[in-house]
Amino acid sequence: MQVQGQQKKKTEFEVVLTSAGASKINVIKEVRSITGLGLKEAKDLVEAAPKSVKEGASKDEAEEIKGKLEAAGATVELK
């Protein structure tokens, strides 16, 4: 039995920080710039990984955030 119809293309993505890696300070700085969080809130988010950094992002925005966080030393997953 086949289901008719097309698969919906995913339009909203969640950027999940899975690990801060060795450069936690750089990752915290990047999280602050992306989210607008204060220092303590960004530090808490990074230390509580895996945590969502951004929800409802477009594919381009999610890829850009992922690139910035990975450049800072983090491990990131898009969902």
- Distances from the Cα of 28 to the Cα of 4, 25, 39, 50, angstroms: 46, 5, 8, 14
Q: What local confidence, expressed as pLDDT, does residue 10 receive?
A: 81
Q: What are the tens digits of pLDDT across the range 20-66?
A: 999 999 999 999 999 999 999 999 999 999 999 999 999 999 999 99
Note the pTM of the prediction, 2 decimals: 0.84
pLDDT-based confidence at residue 8 (cuts at 50, 70, 90): low
CATH class of 23-78: alpha beta
Domain-wise residue ranges, the chain: 23-78
Specify whether the CB–CB gap between 19 and 75 falls below 8 A. yes
